[in-house]
Structure 1
Amino acid sequence: MENEIVQVYDLEKLQEETPFLIFVPGNLEIRNVTYRTGGRKWPTLRYECIIDGEKIRVKEFFLDWFYPGFPKSLMQSFVSSYSMVDSIPMKDWVIFTGKNYKGKEASSSFSLGTQIEVEGESRKNVSKLSETMFDPFPDERFKRFPFYRRSFFANKGEPEWFEERRISNLDWKPPKSDFCVGDLCMDSVGVFKKDGSTVETIFTFSEEYYRRAAWVDIARPTEQAEHLIYDLRNSGNFFEEFESGEPTFAFKKEQGPAIARSKFGEYVVTVSLSPLFGFSEAKGIVRDLMGTVEDRYWDRSPSNCAITSNCE
């Protein structure tokens, strides 16, 4: 199925069909507005603004193939480390600024579930636009809009890269029962089986309107199921806090995102948290989510090291 790119003249009407909230900059005219409908690629909104004669380009979508809130566009390449990344704290999101994979001045934000990527020639104007973004059409359907319904790849979008394939390989469903850690509530469960056994399970959690989100990713890497986990190492330009041990814990000051990793037998458990968590709160939630995995979803029978049927 091919994508269709359409000119947009009515953003409020478009909001009725997008899987993400639309954001626009305050007091700036937007132009050349287009929307890529879901087909071979995920739905994406694009537009431009002019600030002091400089063209600033904006792209918005729901990022479903990587942990929520990480500024993937600010990596030096899609498989490399981050450029030097600075952060600008806002009330309900954090703006990350740096060089994107094209070498342009750029920002990346995760705001109420929407990934907002801004690109231009000057850091000043990129930041100026990014700091004024707001959602002009609040939509009640996003209050509890789970990952398995938002996600392009969870709904069998065609993957090209291994990161996308990790999500499309899983069979996604709503959880069997309600479970929350604070305001983070489990909204989706994805299970990938190979030769009859579970090799990966991802639990996604979110607050209302996706203000903050978390993943618990449980994987058993095998030769038959590759690329199930990412390297977590103390290098690059992103994390300022890195603690080795069980679990390994990495944190971006001052409000995240954060990622932690531990091993349960043959399985690797990764917990990721979007921005807007302080250091101590992030560590506490990681501890609670890791404990939940062990207590509620781990088979302690003699065969051991297996995900129970509670999550399938």
Structure 2
Amino acid sequence: MAVTPDVGPELTELVTTAHRIREAIESVIEGKGDVVRLTLTVLLAEGHLLIEDVPGVGKTMLAKALARSIDCPVRRVQFTPDLLPSDITGVSAFNQQTREFEFKPGPVFANIVVGDEINRASPKTQSALLECMEEHQVTVDGATHPLEAPFMVIATQNPIEMEGTYPLPEAQRDRFTARIAMGYPEPAAELEMLDVHGAASPLDKLQPVATTAEVRALIEAVRAVYVSQPIKKYAIDLVTATRRSPDVRLGASPRATLHLVRAARAHAALDGRDYVIPDDLQALAVPVLAHRLLPSLEAQGQRRRPDQVLEEIVRRVRVPEGREKASGGAGPAR
């Protein structure tokens, strides 16, 4: 992550701090540099991450490694079929001494919430996350309680074909900024894992390398990354193409466009740039948009996955021409 010479001190600090967090996570997760980078991108984009893959590939380990790398409140929720919405958001309990109801915050009141196997809970329980993920607040018994920034939900889930799982509702999936799959490690990384994890878990040695205040500052720096009008138009063209594709019966939402641009800002900042280029959007199109799409019956019959459809869309949609048009130049006007 090299820093462009003409960027400000905020962006330089962002790259340095993000590099520390990335190194800390990679001390636990071997051979998954792209996955770790995307995780940091979602964090700095003020988003939420869905990690989907088969059991045993390190989904929860990645979430816990990120949580331990930052010195902030972290709560973990084990989603089970008998979990209730109040077990996540909190509940109003009657205080015998004051003779009044008091709100007892649930585990969602943390900076990082790790939801383990989210699709093992019922849709009713899953819906308890809708308000807090979108609006960063929780409403219980008519009272609204704000959540402290930064706020990030990292949820893991097994493929829906696995026994005992419920599909995530469309509204829930749309609130996740990106979905990633861990995949099986390379043989060399798996061999190193046997050596490192054999005696003790590296999570036990992992110490925080950034504070909550530093992460807030990084998020503010990402917000200042410039997005030119041609780049915004390019993002809209990509999302619009998913709505018009014959292989998709439900395309990406306007929220998806917003998440794509936010993630592109973070992706550019991690590269040391204070402006977004088309490559940022192309790199993030599949992880940010694919999980929001519902394939048509024809596409399902042809076994065409949403990520394959998106890759074709990215190749087909016209890219803004010229660096000046794409980045807006490097002038002082921001």
TM range (shorter): under 0.3
User: TM-score, normalised on structure 2?
Assistant: 0.26
User: TM-score, normalised on structure 1?
Assistant: 0.28
Give the structure with higher Rg (CA): 2
The one of the two structures with greater contact order (alpha-carbon pairs below 8 A, sep at least 6) is 2
The structure carrying a bigger strand percent of its residues is 1
